[in-house]
Structure 1
Amino acid sequence: MNEQVEQYWDEFCIKNKIDPSELDEAFAFGDTEQMADELADLVNRGIKTATTSLYDPSNSLAKVGKYCIILNGSGKPVCVIQNKVCEIMPFKQVSQEHAYHEGEGDRTYAYWRKANVDFFIKECKQNHWTFNEETPVVCEVFAKV
């Protein structure tokens, strides 16, 4: 965590009377600066309250109740979220409701599915994995604090 992010977190904790150890991580959504900016803005406006990512057993899952700092494409803090739900399931089982709460595009399941299939195929290729309907994904629900 850089100094700017640490200062943001310290000020947030003081203002909201939160123990600084409650931070899970600071991260940006997506794989480009533009995507990170767009998704951080959706979170900040309260439109995006969920996300889906590929399940990687070597990475730890989001800790329910913990906080995360959302960064923009430049790595600057935009807002803080609190993790509410974290579930692992096959891609084909992600619900229309979850897709809607991701807040992207026209918020339809069709839009969500196309965008995520394209994104996950690209990510799987980079990791030498194969993506299909059975690929495990992590579905998270969060709230902006």
Structure 2
Amino acid sequence: MNIVKYENFIKEADLKVEDFRAAFAFGNDGENISDPKMADELLDELLKGRKTATASAVEGYEENEPFPIVDGRFDIVLNGKGEPIAAITNTRVYQTSFDQVTADHARREGEGDLSLAYWRQAHEAFWRQFDLYRPNMPVLCEEFEVIYSKSK
């Protein structure tokens, strides 16, 4: 992770460089943005206050890649162009299985009609692209709060 390219954003947000964890675009592979439209749509939901959670496939993490935790550190959320727009910090992280994700979590993700049915359909389709989907696959759920955004 090249922290240098985020130093100005971190300074503008009045955050500490040593508390920076990662930069990513929602619905994409970290800083590798293959779906700019999805990144911008999900970022928009975050900025509206509708998106306060996300989920990732446990099996999608690299072998030595640490799972997110609640530790007071922050992540930078990128738009579809790879530009830093918001900083978030985790308030809760837990692991469950796909078939046990709750309606509350689905609503917090802020996508579609906010229903669990929508969440399951969208996430199943997304994870099938990477051959990760199974009805009981392990899922890492994160809840977070925005601590800075350029739109505020």
Q: 1:121 aligns with which of 122, 128, 132?
A: 128
Contact 2:93–2:142 (CA under 8 A) maintained in structure 1: yes
Q: State the TM-score, normalized to the length of structure 1.
A: 0.87
Separation in structure 2 between the aligned mates of residue 118 and residue 54 of structure 1, nearest angstrom:
13
Residue of structure 2 equivalent to 1:70: 77
Residue 63 of structure 1: CA displacement?
2.6
Identity fraction in percent? 37
8 Å CA contact retained: 2:10, 2:16? no
Secondary structure class of the residue paired with 1:61: coil
The answer for the alignment partner of 1:29 in structure 2 is 26
- Letter matched to residue 144 of structure 2: F
Kept after mapping to 1: 8 A contact 2:43/2:79:
yes
Q: Is the 8 A contact 2:91 2:143 kept in 1?
A: yes
Q: CA deviation at 1:60?
A: 1.1
User: Superposition RMSD on alpha carbons, in Å?
Assistant: 1.5
TM-score of the superposed pair, with normalisation by structure 2: 0.83
**Unaligned ranges ≥5, structure 1:** none
TM-aligned CA deviation for residue 137 of structure 1: 0.8
What CA deviation, in whole Å up to 9, does each residue of 1:85-129 have, x standing for no partner? 1111111111000000000011111111100010011122xxxx5
Correspondence for 1:45: 48
User: How many residue pairs were aligned?
Assistant: 136
Tell me how far apart the structure 2 counterparts of residues 63 and 112 of structure 1 sit (CA, whole Å): 23
| Shift in Å, 1:23 | 1.1
> 1:1-145 residue pairs with structure 2 within 5 A?
1=2, 3-13=4-14, 18-31=15-28, 32-56=35-59, 58=63, 59-64=65-70, 65-124=72-131, 129=132, 131-145=133-147
Aligned residues of 1:83 and 1:140 also touching (Cα < 8 A): yes
In 1: Cα distance, 2:7 partner to 2:16 partner = 13
Alpha-carbon deviations, 1:27-73, whole Å to 9, x = none? 10113000001111111221100001100352211131221110001
User: Gaps spanning 5+ residues in structure 2: where?
Assistant: 29-34, 148-152
Report which of the two has the higher share of helix.
Answer: 1
Secondary structure of the residue aligned to 1:39 is helix
- For 1:63 and 1:139, locate their aligned partners in 2 and report how far apart those are by CA, in whole Å: 10
